[in-house]
Structure 1
Amino acid sequence: MSQNAPTDYNFRPKDCLLGAQMLFVAFGALVLVPLLTGLNANVALFTAGVGTLIFQVITRGKVPVFLASSFAFIAPIIYGVQQWGISGTMCGLFAAGLMYVIISFLIRIFGSDILHSILPPIVTGPVIMVIGLVLAPVAVHMASGRTGDGSAWLVPETTAFIIAGVSLAVTIIVSLLGKGIFKLIPILCGIAAGYFTSLILDVSGFTASTQAAFDPGSLQNWTGPALISMQKVAESPWFAIPSFTFPTWNLEAILFIVPVAIAPAIEHFGDVLAISGITGKDYVEDPGIKNTLLGDGIATSVAAFFGGPPNTTYSEVSGAVALTRSFNPAIMTWASIAAILLAFIGKLGGFLNTIPVPVMGGIMVLLFGAIAVIGINTLIKAGTDLMEPRNLAIVAIILVFGIGGMTFDLAVVKLGGIGLAGIIGVVLNLILPGKSAA
C-alpha cells in the first residue's frame, strides 16, 4: 500500500477545527439513533467522544476513525426500552460490548478465520435483513404521523406525508448528487430540510388548518396546531450534566440483544479494511483486528454503562478522512473532545427534541430499508446459492423467526425476535450437514 499523507499520531492545537468538522459529518447519524430509540442525545454525544478516546488508547492512536451510535442496534433498543426500560436494555447492550471483547480474544487465539466459520454470510446476511425489516412498521407509522407502535396520532397524516417526503427526498438527492462535504452528510441535510419545511407549514398556517379538520378515527389524537415548539429549548439550561442512565441486571435483555452483535462484529472487518485502503496503512495487521474489535467492544460497554447507544466505526467520517486527506489520528481526538463538550450543552438536547416525528420517519424509511438491502448484498457478494437446501433452510428460518416474532419461553428467560434469529442461525450453520456455508 502507498500513502500520500502523514499517518502518525500528532496532537496539535491547530487541528481542533478539523476535528470539529469530523464531528459535524457524524452528527446527523450520531444523534439519529437516540432520537429514534428514546435514549438521550447528549449522553450519546458524551459516549461517542469517550468511546473514541478509549478506542484510540487500545489501538495506540494508530487508526483515524470515529466511533458513534450503531444503527445495527436500533431495533433491539426500541424493543428493549418498551419491554425492560432503558436501564434493563443497557444491561443487554453492555453484554453486547463484552461479546465483542470475547470475539477479539478468540481472534487473538485462533486467528480471524474463527469468525468466518462461526459467522459466515449465510448467517450474518439474513440477520442484518431481519434488523432492517423488523423496523419497517415503525418507519411507516412515524412517516405517516403516528407513534412508533401506531397507537396514536402525533401529526395529521397529510402534514406528516409532506414533511416525511421532503426529508426522504432531500436525503436521497444529496446522497446521489451531493458534492464534497455535502455527500457525506445526507442524513443531516434531510433532517434540516424536514425541519425547515415544518417551520414553513407552521408559519403559513397550514399546520393549524389541517389539524382543525383532521379526523383521527379510532386512534388517540395527540396532534396540535403547531409542529415545532421552542418551550423545551427555553426550559433547558445552557450547561447541564447529561442524563446518564446506568444498567440494571436483566438476563432476558442480555439473551435478546447479544446475538445482534454478530452482524456488526463482521462489519467491523469491512470498516477497518476501508480505512486501511484510504490511508494506505494495513490496520488489520497493525494494530490488528483483534485490538480494533477490542477497542470497539470496550467502547460499547462503556457507552451502555452511561446509558448511551453502542458504538461503531463511522463510514461518513472515513469518507471525510478520504476527502480531506486528514490521516492524522489525533484529529479524531479533537472530534472526541468536541463531542464531550457539546454533551454538556443542555439547550442542544432541548433543540433536538423539537424535531417533529415525521422528519425522523422519512429518514427511517430509507435507513431501515437500506439495512435490509445490506443484508441481501452480504449474501450476493458471498455468491450464496439460496436454492441449495442447507442454505435455504438457514435463511428461511432466520427470516421467519426474526420477522415473525417467534419466542421460546425457557422458564428462566424468554428468547425471541432478532436475538433468537441470530442464535438459531449460528446453531443451524454448525449442525446442518451439507456443503460448507458460503
Structure 2
Amino acid sequence: MENRKIIQVEEKVPPKLLIPLSIQHMFAMFGASVLVPFIFGINPAIVLFMNGVGTLLFILITKGKAPAYLGSSFAFIAPASIVISKFGYEYALGGFVAVGFCGCILALVIYKFGSDWIDVVLPPAAMGPVVALIGLELSSTAASNAGMLDEKLKSGNVIVFLVTLGVAVFGSVVFRKFLSVIPILIAIIAGYVAAIACGIVDFTAVSEASLFALPNFSTPKFDMQAIVIILPVILVVTSEHIGHQIVTGKIVGRDLLKNPGLHRSLFADNFSTMISGFIGSVPTTTYGENIGVMAMTRVYSVYVIGGAAVLSIICSFIGKLTALINTIPGPVIGGISFLLYGMIGTSGIRILVDGRVDYGRSRNLALTSVIFVTGLSGITVSIGEIELRGMVLACIVGMALSLIFYVLDKLKLTNDREEA
C-alpha cells in the first residue's frame, strides 16, 4: 500500500485492512456514543446495536455514496431529560419517533423542492465558520473528558492524555504504509496501555459481565405534551446534519448535498432516529469523531464504515466485550478527540479557502465575524424547553443574516453586491 494513499468512498478494502480500520472507527465513536445512554440511565448495549443498524441503513439509503457513522445524538439530552423526569423514558422514546418522522417528511420536502436554497442561506462565508464551530465548540468536551479541566490535575490523566495525543499527532506524520492509515487505533492502544500502567483502568465490570447478553429492547409511549417538548430539536439536528454533510463532502472531494443528495442523507439520519425510538434506543446522528478519522487517515470507504457498524452490532450481544471496551478511560478518549475535533474545525477553514471567500466584501466579513462570536460567546436563546447555543445558534443567526442580505441584494440596497 502506498504511503498516505487515498481510499475513496466506493473502494473495497482487503480483510487485512478492513478489520483494523473498522475497529478504529468503532473506538472513535464509542466513548461519546455510550455517554448518552448513561445519562438517560439505560443499558448502552441497545445503543451499540442501533448505532450499527442505523449506520447500515444510512449506507443503504444513500446508495453507499456518503460515508458516515451514526452515533448517539447529544442534541436530545436536555429536552429528553425533562420528559424522562416528568413522564418516563417510554414517553421520551415517543418523542424520538416523532422527531424522526418529521425529519423524514422534511427530507421529502427537500426532495421535491431541491437543496439549492442552501447556497442562499449558507454561502461559504457563513458555512465555513459554522462547520468550524462543530469542532471548536467540542474542544472543551475533549479536554474535560481527558481530565485536563479538573481543578487539580492528576498525573496519571496527564500522562495518558499526552501519550494518546502524542502518538496520534506524530503517528499521522511519521507512520508509513499500513500504519499510516491506523494512527488513531494505534494511539488508542498506546493510551490504553499507558492507562493500565498508571493504574486508572478498572476491570471489575468486565469480570462481572456475562459473556452473552441480549440488548434491552423496549417500546415507546406517546403523549402530545412530551412530543412538543422534544420536537423543536429537529432544528438542531437538521443544522448539524447539513454541516456534517458539507464538511464530509469537502474531505472526500465530493458534493454530497447533490449526490446522493441532502434528501437521502437527511431521510436516512431521521429514519434511523425513528427506528431507535421504536426499539428503545436513543436518537442517532452522523458523528464528528468519525469524520475526523476520515480526514486524518484519508480512508473514506463505506466498506470500512459498514465494518465498524457490524462490529458495533456484534459488541451489543457480547457482554464482556462491551464491558472491556467501556473500560477505555476518559484521558484516552479525550486525547483522541482533542485532535479529531480540531481537524473538523480546520475543515471549516478549508471551506473558506476553497470557496475563495473575498473578505474585501463587507457582507463576508460581517457574516464570518458574527457567526464565530455567536458560536463561541456562550450566548443561549431559550424557546420553551429548547436551548439554542453554540454551532446551532450561530447557524440560525448566519442563515437569517444571509437571507436578509439576499433580500437587500434583490432590492439593490447593498453596496457590495456582485452584478450579474
Coarse TM-score class (shorter-chain normalised): 0.7 to 0.9
Post-superposition CA distance 1:229-248 (Å, at most 9, x none): 11111122212233568788
1:166 maps onto 2:163 in alignment: yes
CA distance in 1 between partners of 2:135 and 2:83 (Å): 21
Give the letter aligned to residue 361 of structure 1. G
The verdict on how the C-alpha distance between 1:255 and 1:100 changes in structure 2, with shifts beyond 3 A counting, is closer
Asked if the contact 1:77–1:89 (Cα under 8 Å) also holds between the matched residues in 2, the reply is no
Whole-Å separation in 1 of the counterparts to 2:58 and 2:148: 39
Change (3 A) 1:77 1:377: farther
Determine which of 319, 337, 344 is the counterpart of 2:317: 344
- Which of 110, 113, 116 aligns to 2:116? It is 113
Q: Name the counterpart of 1:417.
A: 389
Give the aligned length.
385
Q: What letter corresponds to residue 51 of structure 1 in structure 2?
A: G
Range 106-115 or range 263-272, more displaced: 263-272
Q: Which runs of 5 or more residues in structure 2 are unaligned?
A: 1-7, 409-413
Q: Is the 8 A contact 2:139 2:342 kept in 1?
A: yes
Aligned residue among 176, 179, 183 for 1:179: 176
Match of 1:307 in 2: 282
What does 1:92-107 correspond to in 2, within 5 Å?
101-102=104-105, 104-107=107-110
Structure 2 distance, partners of 1:381, 1:158, is 42
Query: Once structures 1 and 2 are overlaid, which stretch shifts more, 345-354 or 334-343?
Result: 334-343
| DSSP 3-state at the match of 1:310 | strand
1:241 aligned residue (199, 214, 218): 214
- Give the C-alpha shift of residue 196 in structure 1: 0.3
Match of 2:3 in 1: none
Q: In structure 1, the residue corresponding to 2:69 is in which secondary structure?
A: strand
Structure 1 Cα separation of the partners of residues 380 and 349 of structure 2: 24
Identity of aligned residues (%): 28
Which residue in the other structure is 1:404 paired with?
377
CA deviation after TM superposition for structure 1 residue 170, in Å: 0.8
Per-residue deviation, 1:406: 1.8
The residue type paired with residue 130 of structure 2 is: V
Distance 1:239 1:272 in 2: 39
Q: Aligned partner of 1:27: which letter?
A: M
2:113, 2:355 → 1: CA distance? Answer: 23
Q: Which amino acid aligns with 1:32?
A: G
RMSD of equivalent CA atoms: 4.4
CA distance in 1, matches of 2:401, 2:256: 33
Return the offset for 1:192. Answer: 1.4
Q: CA deviation at 1:167?
A: 0.7
Does 2:387 correspond to 1:390? no
> Are positions 1:190 and 2:204 aligned together?
no
Instruction: Give me the whole-angstrom Cα distance separating, in 1, the residues matched to 2:245 and 2:237.
Output: 13
Q: Does the 8 A contact of 2:76 with 2:233 survive in 1?
A: no
Which residues in structure 2 correspond to 1:233-382 (within 5 Å)?
233-243=206-216, 249=226, 251=228, 254-255=231-232, 258-268=235-245, 271=248, 290-303=263-276, 306-307=281-282, 309-311=284-286, 336-382=309-355
Deviations 1:415-437 (A, max 9, x none): 43133322222112111334569
Cα distance in 2 for residues equivalent to 1:353 and 1:394: 42
C-alpha deviations, 1:10-63, integer Å up to 9, x for none?
A: xxxxx988865553242222313225656565344312321233235434xx42
Q: Which moved more, 1:304-313 or 1:112-121?
A: 304-313
CA–CA separation in structure 2 for the residues paired with 1:401 and 1:319: 28
Q: TM-score, normalised by structure 2?
A: 0.72
Q: CA deviation at 1:133?
A: 2.9
Question: Structure 1 residues 289 and 141, CA, compared in 2 at 3 Å: closer, same or farther?
Answer: closer
Q: Secondary structure at the match of 1:242?
A: coil
Q: CA deviation at 1:402?
A: 2.5
**1:32 corresponding residue in structure 2:** 31
Q: CA deviation at 1:361?
A: 2.3
- Cα gap change, 1:397/1:178 in structure 2, threshold over 3 Å: closer, same or farther? same
Unaligned runs of 5+ in 1: 10-14, 203-226
